[in-house]
Amino acid sequence: MSSLAVWAAESRAGLLDRSADRRQYVFAYDPAAESPATQVSLTMPVRLESWVSRDLHPIFQMNLPEGALLEAIRRAISKLAGEDDLTILRVTGGNQIGRNRFSLPGASLPGIAETRESLDALLSYPDTEELFHELVSKYALRSGISGVQPKIMLEASERGTATVGRYIVKSWGTEYPHLGANEFFCMTAAQRAGLTVPEFHLSANGGLFVMKRFDLSADGSPRSFEDMCVLQALGTAQKYGSSYERVARSIRDFVSGEFLQAAREQFFASLVLSCMVRNGDAHLKNFGILYDRPGAAVHLAPVYDVVTTVAYLSRDVPALSLAGTKKWWPRKVLEKFAVAYLSLPVGKIEHIIDQAAGAVTDTRGELSAYMKDHPAFRPVGERMLTAWDEGVASLRAQ
């Protein structure tokens, strides 16, 4: 496949082409494209000149599946359609995170007519491995979502209501056992620390982590989402090749002024929490911005994908550098960063660190109780508790 039509919400934005020699990608806005409604990214304003890139443009790379989901899609389509990036965008093009959609050049706006799944059934199904394989076979070709951890997007009837919301369902491979429970308790600590998080659930047997999508408005219409790879003009492969100082600058450059202070506080709190729970996967794709449409107010996206990675990789380090290093930094380094790059007052910095420490400590009790009821989780849980204790102790007032 060499060309795709790109849609921004319900409007056709332009045409994405791959050159015949496969050396570059070209995106051109349609002459009739209206600014800013058809703008595909804050980094790519509407203009007559085409947007040319050696690799697929970061905004279009953003939702390319990775890991197990990518392999499932490739197995399904490679013999008939190929497995290049544009083909994968085409088959997942109607169910992307954010406002952008993809179709064949002459086709109409793509859409997915999905089967409703009961959220209660998803959370209570006894054999979640079997269930996840079934869901992958049903939804893989409809899921435009990045990330190495196996995950899919689907519609689910919300608990206790008749309305429909869209959810992301995650499982894991054998190399990362009980990753769903790991993420659940890390996200619980984030929520308790006052961070904005999406609605999330853990299945009864711990086999699935289910998170409600935050890129949809109350009426189901898509909102724009752009991760830090896009905002820094970097491809997905470069998601570990930046720094938290640069993330802070991107927040300054893109978040609306009236929400900038709240965004800075949330970003710092999420960084502190990642240090305390030893989350070594807070890379560029795990931070982003959210807005209804180009020209509207821009917020920092909710916190997501927080896990204790050292429970599996004992010597894991932070995903991005800070002060020129990738290590679990002492409190003084984080404080200097918050003052110099986030303009946070000393009192606010102390409050954020203390609140995160209290949240992790409080969640520790729930994690311990879960271990007692789920003996298979105990080895991972014990490593998590050790990591949390070390993380909190390292950032106590010095």
| Segment 347-395, tens digit of pLDDT | 999 999 999 999 999 999 999 999 999 999 999 999 999 999 999 999 9
Query: Taking 60 as the threshold, does the pLDDT of residue 146 lie above it?
Result: yes
| Segment 21-72, tens digit of pLDDT | 778 999 999 998 877 889 999 999 999 999 999 999 999 999 888 777 777 7
The long-range contacts involving 22-26, CB below 8 angstroms and separated by at least 24 positions, are: 23/54, 24/52, 24/53, 24/54, 25/52, 25/53, 25/54, 25/55, 25/56, 25/57, 25/60, 26/50, 26/51, 26/52, 26/53
CA distance linking residue 73 with residue 88, whole number of Å = 8
Size (the chain), residues: 398
pTM, rounded to two decimals: 0.92
What percentage of residues in the chain have a pLDDT greater than 70?
94
Could you tell me the domains of the chain? 224-394 (1.10.1070.20)
32 by Cβ neighbours in 10 Å (0-12 / 13-18 / 19+) ranks as exposed
Query: Taking 90 as the threshold, does the pLDDT of residue 255 lie above it?
Result: yes
Query: Taking 50 as the threshold, does the pLDDT of residue 162 lie above it?
Result: no
